[in-house]
């Protein structure tokens, strides 16, 4: 029972972090029609930036400012230099982002080194919760993820820039006719996607290991969330990420983690074949 | 008069002559290590060709071809180490397992197209990758299966086997050439034309009476065959099979090779694969971060030559010939997309 609760909690909190990353993937996919194979590496860059900030300043909290900023700038740069010239052709974007993924991984391997490292949680200690001792940092991580998720949706629905992003996604030509700078919105969206993944990386860095291959495992999981939630359905994506991760946590309390991964992959195939619009079609706008 | 087709034919002949002379010319020019690199390039070209058959000719972007490559590898390795099969039955087993897997997964996968198809093929390959990792009794997991190679032919006392590098090279060259020849015949056949019709517009193809679902499934099994042959050859070549070759990164590399070389062209996968493996072999001895170059090249090709290197070459060739015969051709030639 205790391991069950622990793994279920871990799953839930990991799901909140994954939701942040998957959300970035989903807005990039929905707006630019790009399958971004480098998205896992955006997360990985976030973890490495957290480590680098801690090393150079001794203060982990600065990473929450620094990493999204660097992520935003890198994202804008990548969109302008790599993604824009290929005019959103899906097949080419897959090759380009695959190349991007290799470049990011190798650059980190050169600068950061090939050995995985760990960051100690900046908040030590445990708290007694539902009969188990639970790490305080993980609860803090969940809170950060929730704040970022809510913040993102508020931004998307309550600010002018967010409305522009939704307008361009809905109907690009009309949006352009209304005077919305669509090209800049594309750059901005990609940059926001990178920044969200980087925040996810900073939050996750003390929980997981900092490794140049850290994004490789994350990527399929984020895609699962995007598919099960429904391509382009942002609240659905976030919900799917949390559900999936919780589900894997529950299964891995009774079976091997690989079995948990296989069952969520099978679930995803079923969703793709039976409800290609996602599980939550019709539940949201 | 020189035409683009004649130049291409001459290049192919030159290429064939070079490939036939590799076991003697390459050790004389560089060293014998490169003979096995070229054999490896041939195998991976065949694997890239299976991506190309689906994407370049039917318009389905598969990101899970590594699954069928892995089936070919495991078919051979398990056939030899567990069932004690000899060379040819093991080869056959590898191909049959790959095609059967392609048939079963294809029945579901080809119901979807575009992004959905790309994603479901990754999902299927990931499911079997994790299954291969966990079922160590069958697959050996990450460590894989090592086996001793049986001989290929034996007539009386004479034996030919892969232990002879020259025989190994020619066996691989022969098999890969046969597959490429089959693909060339396929593209010219009515079936190939039906594939192209589906690639260009699947709605119209179904309106003229083509069974789009069935044709896509046929193409998918054919691509499984090509990947299976490549996997079986690679298993013989390395004398082992491992789950790592079923990971989606392997599929991704093949997609990159095919698109960089030129999707929808017969020789595109060979060109793409050769460039990346040659770069890897040359650079990796001096500098371990060769993936950086692979990434940069992939991005540059996609930006500056979206039709791939073979596509760029054809564009350039047509323009060159057009210029030399400007008096005759007034209208601008419209090339197929």
Query: In A, which residues are within 8 Å of B260 by CB distance?
Result: 95
Of residues A95, A101, A107, nearest to B255 (C-beta): A95
Nearest Cα neighbor of A23 from A198, A245, A197 is A197
d(CA A75, CA A39): 10
Nearest CA in chain A to B60: A91
| Burial track B125-164 (b if 16+ CB lie within 10 A, e otherwise) | bbbbbbbbbbeeeebbbeebbebebbebeeeeeeebbbee
Counting runs of H as helices and runs of E as strands, what totals does chain A give?
A: 11, 2
pLDDT, one tens digit per residue, over B269-285 is 999 999 889 888 888 77
Q: How many interface pairs between A and B have CB atoms less than 8 angstroms apart? A: 115
Q: Which residues in A78-131 belong to E strands, given as ranges?
A: 126-129
Helix residue ranges per DSSP H, chain B: 4-29, 33-52, 66-81, 87-109, 114-134, 136-139, 165-188, 190-200, 202-207, 212-238, 248-261, 268-286, 290-304, 308-324
ipTM above 0.90, yes or no: no
DSSP one-letter string for A120-185: --SS--EEEETTEEEEHHHHHHHHHHHHHHHHHHHHHHHSHHHHHHHHHHH-HHHHHHTT--HHHH
Q: Do A262 and B291 touch (CB under 8 A)?
A: no
The answer to whether B262 touches B82, Cβ cutoff 8 Å, is no
Pairing relationship of beta strands A132-135 and A126-129 according to DSSP bridges: antiparallel
Q: Are B256 and A106 within 8 A, CB to CB? A: no
B-chain residues near A269 (CB < 8 A) = 108, 120, 123-124, 127
User: Which pLDDT belongs to residue A284?
Assistant: 47
pLDDT at B331 over 80: no
> For residues A76 and A95, what is the distance between their CA atoms, to the nearest angstrom?
19
Q: Do A273 and B120 touch (CB under 8 A)?
A: yes
Task: Check whether B332 has a pLDDT greater than 60.
Answer: no
pLDDT score, position B105: 93
A220:B252 CB<8 A: no
How many C-beta neighbours within 10 Å does residue B286 have? Answer: 7
CA-nearest of B156, B160, B139 to B242 is: B139
Judged by CB atoms closer than 8 Å, whether chains meet at A99 and B298 is answered as yes
Size (chain B), residues:
337
pLDDT of the residue at B67: 94
Mutation target vs A (from B58, B109, B254, B292; most A CBs, 10 A cutoff):
B292
- In a mutational test of the A interface, the residue from B67, B213, B262, B299 whose CB has the highest number of chain A CBs within 10 Å is B299
Nearest Cα of chain A lies from the Cα of B173 at a distance, in angstroms, of 28
Percent of chain B with pLDDT over 70: 94
* Chain B residues whose C-beta sits inside 8 Å of any chain A C-beta: 55, 61, 63, 108, 111-112, 114-116, 118-120, 122-124, 126-127, 130-131, 133-134, 248-249, 252, 255-256, 259-260, 263, 289, 291-292, 294-299, 301-303, 306
- Residue of chain A with shortest Cα separation from B296: A99
Q: Is the pLDDT of residue A241 over 70?
A: yes
**A285 pLDDT exceeds 50?**
no
DSSP string computed for B301-332: HHHH-TTHHHHHHHHHHHHHHHHHTTTT--SP
**Chain A interface, best mutation among B63, B120, B123, B288, by max A CB count within 10 A:** B123
Mean pLDDT of B96-122: 89
Architecture category of domain B4-324 in CATH: Orthogonal Bundle (1.10)
Q: State residue B334's pLDDT score.
A: 55
Q: Which residues of A touch B (CB under 8 A)?
A: 29, 35, 37, 82, 85-86, 89-92, 94-96, 98-103, 105-107, 109-110, 216, 220, 223-224, 227, 231, 256, 258-259, 261-262, 265-266, 268-269, 272-273, 276
List the single residue in A with minimal CA-CA distance to B247: A216
Contact between residue B39 and residue B54 where contact means Cβ atoms under 8 Å apart = no
Q: State chain A's mean pLDDT as an integer.
A: 85
* Chain CA centroid to CA A79, Å: 17
**What is the band of B336 on the pLDDT scale with cuts at 50, 70, 90?**
low
Encode pLDDT of B154-183 as tens digits. Answer: 666 667 777 788 888 899 999 999 999 999
pLDDT at B216: 93
Residues of A in contact with B298 (CB under 8 A): 95-96, 98-99, 102
Given pLDDT bands bounded at 50, 70 and 90, which one contains residue B83?
A: confident
Q: Which of B110, B115, B259, B263 is best to mutate for the A interface (most A CBs within 10 A)?
A: B115
> Do B123 and A85 make contact, defined as CB atoms within 8 angstroms?
no
Interchain CB distance below 8 Å, B256 and A89: no
Torsion of CA B252, A75, B302, B109, to 10 degrees: 40
Q: How far are the Cα atoms of B84, B105, B237, B239 from residue B78, in angstroms, in the given order? A: 8, 21, 15, 11
Contacts of residue B110, defined as CB under 8 A and 6 or more positions apart, other chains included, come to: B60, B117, B213, B216, B217, B220
Structure tokens at B158: 């004479």
Mapping DSSP to helix (H, G, I), strand (E, B) and coil, where does residue A13 land?
helix
How many Å lie between the alpha carbon of A119 and the closest alpha carbon of chain B?
A: 26
Buried b (16+ CB within 10 A) or exposed e, B27-50: eeeeeeebbebbbbbbbbbbbbbb
Quick one: average pLDDT of B56-73? 92
pLDDT one-digit tens code per residue, A108-117: 988 888 888 8
Q: Is B172 exposed, middle or buried (0-12, 13-18, 19+ CB in 10 A)?
A: buried
In chain B, residues with a C-beta closer than 8 Å to the C-beta of A41 are: none
pTM: 0.85
Closest CA to A37 of A259, A198, A220, A177: A220
**Which pairs from B287-294 meet CB under 8 Å and 24+ separation?**
B289/A106, B289/A109, B289/A110, B291/A102, B291/A103, B291/A105, B291/A106, B292/A102, B292/A103, B292/A106, B292/A107, B292/A110, B294/A99, B294/A102, B294/B256
Q: Which one of A86, A258, A269 has the shortest CB-CB distance to B303? A: A86
Verify whether the Cβ–Cβ distance B259 to A91 is below 8 Å. Answer: yes
Q: Is B263 close to A91, i.e. CB distance below 8 A?
A: yes
Mean pLDDT of all residues in A178-199: 90
Distance CA B244, CA B258 (A): 21
**Which chain B residues are within 8 Å of A268, Cβ to Cβ?**
123
Residue A75 corresponds to which tokens in the numbers above?
């994202």
Residues of chain A with Cβ-Cβ distance to B127 below 8 Å are: 262, 265-266, 269
Domain boundaries, chain B: 4-324
Position with higher pLDDT, A131 vs B334: A131
């Amino acid at each position: 029972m205790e391991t069950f609760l622990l793994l279920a909690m871990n799953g839930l909190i990991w799901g909140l972090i994954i939701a942040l990353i998957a959300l970035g993937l989903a807005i990039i996919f929905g707006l630019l029609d790009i399958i971004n194979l480098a998205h896992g590496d955006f997360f990985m860059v976030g973890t490495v930036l957290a480590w680098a900030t801690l090393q150079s300043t001794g203060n982990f909290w600065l990473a929450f400012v620094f990493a999204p900023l660097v992520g935003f700038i890198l994202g804008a740069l990548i969109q302008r230099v790599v993604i824009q010239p290929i005019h959103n052709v899906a097949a080419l974007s897959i090759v380009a982002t695959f190349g991007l993924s290799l470049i990011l991984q190798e650059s980190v391997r050169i600068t950061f080194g090939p050995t995985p490292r760990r960051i100690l949680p900046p908040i030590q200690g445990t708290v007694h919760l539902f009969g188990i001792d639970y790490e305080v940092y993980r609860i803090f991580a969940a809170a950060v993820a929730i704040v970022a998720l809510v913040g993102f949706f508020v931004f998307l629905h309550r600010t002018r820039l967010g409305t522009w992003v939704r307008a361009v996604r809905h109907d690009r030509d009309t949006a352009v006719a209304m005077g919305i700078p669509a090209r800049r919105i594309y750059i901005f969206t990609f940059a926001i996607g990178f920044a969200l993944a980087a925040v996810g990386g900073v939050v996750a860095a003390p929980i997981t290991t900092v490794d140049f291959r850290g994004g490789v495992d994350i990527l399929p999981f984020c895609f699962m969330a995007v598919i099960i939630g429904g391509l382009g359905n942002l609240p659905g994506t976030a919900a799917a990420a949390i559900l999936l991760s919780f589900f894997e946590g529950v299964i891995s309390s009774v079976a091997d983690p690989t079995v948990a991964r296989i069952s969520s992959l099978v679930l995803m195939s079923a969703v793709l074949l039976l409800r290609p619009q996602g599980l939550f079609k019709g539940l949201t706008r | 008069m020189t035409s683009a087709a004649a130049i291409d034919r001459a290049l192919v002949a030159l290429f064939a002559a070079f490939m036939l002379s590799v076991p003697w010319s390459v050790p004389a020019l560089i060293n014998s290590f490169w003979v096995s690199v070229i054999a490896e390039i041939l195998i991976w070209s065949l694997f890239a060709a299976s991506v190309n058959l689906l994407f370049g000719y039917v318009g389905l972007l598969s990101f899970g071809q590594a699954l069928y490559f892995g089936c070919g590898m495991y078919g051979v390795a398990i056939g030899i180490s567990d069932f004690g099969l000899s060379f040819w039955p093991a080869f056959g087993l590898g191909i049959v397992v790959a095609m059967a897997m392609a048939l079963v997964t294809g029945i579901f996968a080809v119901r979807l197209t575009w992004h959905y198809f790309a994603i479901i093929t990754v999902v299927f390959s990931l499911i079997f990758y994790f299954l291969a990792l966990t079922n160590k009794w069958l697959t050996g997991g990450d460590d894989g299966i090592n086996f001793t190679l049986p001989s290929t032919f034996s007539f009386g006392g004479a034996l030919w086997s892969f232990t002879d590098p020259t025989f190994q090279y020619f066996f691989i060259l022969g098999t890969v050439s046969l597959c490429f020849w089959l693909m060339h015949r396929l593209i010219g056949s009515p079936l190939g034309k039906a594939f192209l019709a589906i690639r260009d517009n699947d709605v119209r193809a179904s309106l003229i009476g083509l069974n789009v679902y069935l044709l896509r499934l046929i193409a998918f099994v054919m691509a499984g065959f090509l990947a299976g042959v490549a996997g079986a050859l690679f298993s013989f070549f390395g004398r082992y099979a491992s789950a790592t070759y079923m990971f989606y990164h392997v599929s991704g590399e093949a997609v990159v090779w095919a698109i960089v070389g030129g999707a929808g062209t017969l020789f595109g996968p060979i060109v793409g694969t050769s460039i990346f493996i040659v770069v890897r072999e040359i650079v990796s001895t001096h500098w371990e971060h060769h993936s950086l170059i692979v990434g940069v090249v992939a991005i540059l090709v996609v930006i500056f030559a979206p039709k791939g290197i073979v596509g760029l070459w054809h564009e350039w060739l047509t323009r060159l010939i057009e210029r030399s015969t400007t008096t005759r051709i007034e209208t601008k030639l419209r090339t197929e997309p």
